Amino acid sequence: MNEYLLMFADAVFGFFALFVLVKVLGKTQISSLTPFDFISAIILGELVGNALFEKESGIPEIAFLVVVWGLLLYITEVVTQKFKGSRAVLEGRPSIVIHKGHLIYDVLKENRLDIDELQHLLRSKDVFSIEEVEYAVLEVDGTISVLKKPDYQTPTNSDLNVSPTPVKLGRTIVSDGEVLWDNLKEANLSKKWLEEELHKQNIAAVEDVFYAEWQENQQKLFTMLYHNKK
């Protein structure tokens, strides 16, 4: 029984230690995962995992591993910020795979990227034909950035001489049949207003709504009901 309690304590401590480490290192460690970050995450998980299942290891050993590895990652981040030359080695550098509408074969080969993979990445950017692309840059985290040819670019308000309107975020009001009262209050809306809006859309109860969003720009409530695949 004592062994299970010790394992439970080690697991809980390891969880919170890693959680704190991620918070300290910042969101960029997760949002833009470079190959170095990926390897670091695997090694850190392996170190903590081994410490959890080693009978001789406990909370002090896990804490030591997390602190040491956290310091190494922090030092690496400081080095890349202070010395620009180290960034290419530790983080890698972006690669131009399409230049002025032409595929750069040696860059694709260097990054072990074939045409099918490139097309997949382009489709994730709503580009379904390579002909539309003027420049494409393969980022260090494996994503791709695209600049379309002028003929395929979406015109902006300034291109059309249209006066811009203020942009406001949509606010979730109902999620999975439950009202998010904080969001409703922040939008200066009331329960009575919500019931009236749902009634206008022939919705009997909030519980029937899977998702509802207050679109302040258009001054309307967008709702989605529960629908099954059939």
pLDDT of residue 121: 92
pLDDT of residue 146: 94
Evaluated on CA atoms 73, 76, 82, 85, the torsion sign reads negative
> Residue 163 falls within a domain, yes or no?
no
7: which residues sit within 8 A by CB, 6+ positions away?
Answer: 52
Are 125 and 54 in a shared domain? no
Record the tokens describing residue 104, joined without a space: 């750069």
Q: What's the rounded Cα separation, in Å, for the pair 207 and 1? A: 45
Q: What's the rounded Cα separation, in Å, for the pair 119 and 98? A: 12
Domain termination site, one of 70, 88, 106:
88
Q: How many CB atoms lie within 10 A of CB 224?
A: 11
Are 73 and 107 in a shared domain? no
pLDDT of residue 27: 46
Question: SS3 string of 173-228?
Answer: EEECCEECHHHHHHCCCCHHHHHHHHHHCCCCCHHHEEEEEEECCCCEEEEEECCC
CB distance 116 to 75 below 8 Å: no
Are 14 and 60 in a shared domain? yes
The region of weakest confidence among 125-134, 144-153, 157-166, 178-187 is: 157-166
* This prediction's pTM: 0.55
Using pLDDT thresholds of 50, 70 and 90, give the confidence band for residue 228.
confident
**Mean pLDDT value of segment 104-132:** 89
Helix then strand then coil, in percent of the chain rounded to 5, is: 55, 15, 30
Record the tokens describing residue 116, joined without a space: 């099918």
> Residue 158 falls within a domain, yes or no?
no
* Of 38, 45, 36, the residue nearest 66 (C-alpha): 45
Locate tokens 């080690």: which residue? 10
Which of the two residues, 35 and 97, has the higher pLDDT score? Answer: 97
Are 29 and 104 in a shared domain? no
> Residue 10 falls within a domain, yes or no?
yes
What does residue 219 show for φ and ψ, rounded to 5 degrees?
Answer: 55, 50
Q: What's the rounded Cα separation, in Å, for the pair 214 and 190? A: 12
Are 81 and 12 in a shared domain? yes
* pLDDT tens-place string over residues 26-48: 544 444 555 566 666 666 666 66
Q: What's the rounded Cα separation, in Å, for the pair 7 and 52? A: 7
Provide the residue range defining the domain that includes 82.
2-88
* pLDDT tens-place string over residues 149-164: 988 888 887 888 888 7
Are 29 and 66 in a shared domain? yes
Locate tokens 């190959």: which residue? 35
